[in-house]
Structure 1
């Protein structure tokens, strides 16, 4: 399905967040509306690979909004990134990003979630009704917090190579969305996975949660040395049925 993109600015309590949206291309005057998805980038932020992934998702019939979560430090790109993030470049980039990530408190992320979801519901190309949130790495934690804080609005949650447990058991207990958590093999031991799943089960979360074999942290991102093609395919195989099922039912 052909798609188009649009650069946007989201008003928040702390200023304007730059963002972009990808959505199916409509015939002139068609006025089509599509289920909304809030996609949080990984810690490296908005860049070509995120635009490609958003366009891929939009091609399946969704309106995908991708915000710059570090907008308080400037517009995209917040820091200069190499075309390929690996080796010494990766270490240097992470060294510059970690202070921004550490400053992005739970309180900030929840204020932003309110603004991002409110903005998403105003888009003329986005359908009324429930939405989905998805995210990668640090963005997966933000997606989890967003779903927990907005159970009445978020029908589906997906997080990949993300520190889901950092949201805390109280937050996890607030999730009413259908959820999928795809973990890197290097991020989570089988024992830790069992403990996380026990917490999710106890909270009554309708979820799947699994380790993707042979993967390392960041496996979905094709512009990094962590990329795993099989892991990315598995990610799409889990994400698309989740979103289509939850949003269609909603």
Structure 2
């Protein structure tokens, strides 16, 4: 497995990140979006493992506007006041407009890599990037054929910019793995999402992982749940198997409008 540092030009500057590829081979492209802790050893391990399952994986830095990782002291814990302040700073520039602009840039970058096969692509998000994965699928329905969210927060809210309102633009197969007792995605929000998915009528699955709390898939999370993390990985690779057979669709790329 080859790990490469990469740079992507965006409307706001240069996004750094990592690309995981198989030497001399073309594989389906997948975008791994980090949790709120950003790029670090645990996320690199997750992206590398996904690549080893048969993909060329791009892991962009969602916080590139603040510099290269690390941009937060993840080990200090989210109850630390300095960490809370930093999180607010990091989230500030990530408006729906900015997120969707970034998404178009990293999809196009990955599509242009020699190690990426010409078929469809996948995207997976963890924590706050669960919503980013949905936005990515909506921005590039011509390329994104599968999208997944694990312990994603704020996926279906009352806000006019809620990610679930983008479903009519999405052509991908979708998977949502929810945590229990998640303040960012309580039962009523899961119900709202499930109702929206039913109305949308696309191919999707939404389920709660018993005993798994927010962050359970990430090895350096204090609530890491090994058995449920393995189940999540199996679900993810099962979902992404479809992109090996789905070709890019002749769908007009939507304008960079934002819901």
**TM-score (normalised: structure 2):** 0.87
Query: Which of the numbers 148, 158, 161 marks the counterpart of 2:151?
Result: 161
The residue aligned with 1:96 is 86
Corresponding residue SS for 2:2: strand
**CA distance 1:80–1:87, shift in 2 (3 Å):** closer
2:49 and 2:123 map into 1 onto residues whose CA distance is 16
- Answer yes or no: is 1:240 the counterpart of 2:240: no
Change (3 A) 1:100 1:88: closer
Structure 1 counterpart of 2:166: 171
Shift of 1:81: 3.9
**Does residue 199 of the first structure (1) align with residue 201 of the second (2)?**
no
2:181 is matched with 186
Contact persistence 1:18–1:71 (CA under 8 A): yes
C-alpha contact (below 8 Å) 2:15/2:60 kept by paired residues: yes
How far the C-alpha of 1:175 sits from its partner, in A, is 1.5
In structure 2, the gaps of 5 or more residues are 248-259
Q: Is 2:135–2:163's contact at 8 Å kept on the other side of the alignment?
A: no
* CA deviation after TM superposition for structure 1 residue 234, in Å: 1.5
Q: Aligned-pair RMSD on alpha carbons?
A: 1.8
The one-character-per-residue Cα deviations of 1:91-130 (angstroms, maximum 9, x if unpaired) are 6434311221133100000110111011111111111221
Q: Please name the residue that 1:213 is paired with.
A: 210
> For residues 87 and 77 of structure 1, what CA distance do their matches in structure 2 show?
15
| Alignment of structure 1 residues 18-167 onto 2, 5 Å | 18-24=16-22, 26=23, 31-82=24-75, 86=77, 88=79, 92-163=82-153, 164-166=155-157, 167=162
Cα distance 1:119–1:215, how it changes in 2: closer, same or farther (>3 A)? same
Take 2:232 and 2:214, find their aligned partners in 1: how far apart are those partners? 13
TM-score of the pair, normalised by structure 1: 0.90
Q: Of 10, 13, 31, which residue of structure 2 is paired with 1:12?
A: 10
How many aligned positions are there? Answer: 240
Distance 1:103 1:221, change over 3 A: same
CA gap of 1:111–1:192, structure 2 versus 1, over 3 A, is: closer
Give a deviation string over 1:123-153, Cα, whole Å, max 9, x none: 1111122111111011111111110121111
In structure 1, stretches of 5+ residues that fail to align are none
